[in-house]
Chain A
């Protein structure tokens, strides 16, 4: 056999192997990852089929891979800790991925927590903005809310922002910019507080770019400390320094309730109920998207999706709740479970 023949044969074998795929491929958000993996494992044990392989690529990275095309070498499902953007959806359509089903898994709360032995915090979104943004309005203490001068954040202690807050130094440990938790912190907490200033709200309509820059930039003068993606590390640091606050997902708070406590936001403590009904505002929806053209081509996809949207899985007493998922409302669960089973196509524009 000539060398040329051997090489061709090797390539053909490799291609043949990559075309026949036995397992489901899932990519996407690292926030949905801990939930999707539990479902995958249960599915594998229940059915005896190969356990789906789940990569944690981040929401954006997952959607990019997912939207690359309909080929069997593209992922079947992508997880996201936000809704798919119009731009991404259009890209998907352009690449021929037109049959997508959207499923809302539930919600994830973001905890602002400190050590059990530390002071209690009760923050409003505005206070979080004033404590964490790089630039804040010059006159934030009296009624001059419409003053438009912005200064570098002058606050060093919490009680400078609101005298009812503890008199300790502002020191917040949080996730890096690559993390979905950071996005949520910026978009919900900091922007949410930013918007409470009327002139900022006005700027949003006039100059969206500038508004975004001002309302999303986190201070870098040592009061907000980026900690990398490891939430366990943040919890260790909080235990060692009782005046430090840390920002991480609700499931970590849930597992470490003996060491740290979550701050109240707008008077509401961080609980399952408060996140589910929205009164605890710092939370975000978790989704997964299914490539319907792969149903029937990859073995077990229908069964896996059915397992995910089962009441015993993502319902109020399902096993994902034990892992820290906050279930969505009954109606929503019913709607999305139906969509998932019937492979209803997502229409982003309706």
Chain B
């Protein structure tokens, strides 16, 4: 731990520095690859939607002795259209999922289960979902998503600057895409709980990005006036300085989510907890990546297009190609603003 903390200090002073912003093409390529794979997975395999979206019925029996075959046999004669999925959940439960059923069929299934296995109707956990329901909640989730993106963009544009808002949203869309892609690829069930997870990721991923951008803004505030570093270099320093913070906040966020996943998948087998935490877990990991490797480089790229920043880059390169900070060995600035520790370039000649 102490060693890692030491790294934090070196990253802060610029002693150790990762060229994250400059190597943006590398990160873009990696992400483009993932996004292409996601699109391919979505087109070819599609998402594995739970009954909440397709309409259907689910019955869960809590009796350890019942086998999948017995359960399947019990409901075989009811004449349910479409595929009937019977699964063992955990060690004690059996779940039967069907497509949309009429109320009479639903009644028949329950009667068959209660009489075959000698359980009371109340002890069967049932879920019936109408065929139009999925459309309704999908519509709502979509509206929610759009409203959220607009609101956040507006808010960040006010709290920071418009280009940061754009970069943050690009990173978030990137996260959602890849997370959904992973779902399509692996074939995890998508339920309303998963959708909650997706929507929450948006908030989370932005949280991380906000932390990084706050530092970027601070470092780049007077960058043009000083002509010591280009915007990209200042942004890169900010990313490095917040790297330990990003790592820590991500670990701390992943710990509880991981616990829910562990308990939800291990103890309950299936359901809200597992679906929610799985989406969060994947999304958080992707979100951490994008807040470091996608959002800041993209922001730098946007800002470097501005004439003022291009002029700055020219001035900086005229000074010898690299920002030189020897004259200004990190003395504590009395005002607290302005450039702080300039990165010491390793191998400077």
Do A and B associate with each other?
no
Q: Interface of A with B (CB < 8 Å)? A: none
**Residues of chain B whose beta carbon lies under 8 Å from any beta carbon of chain A:** none
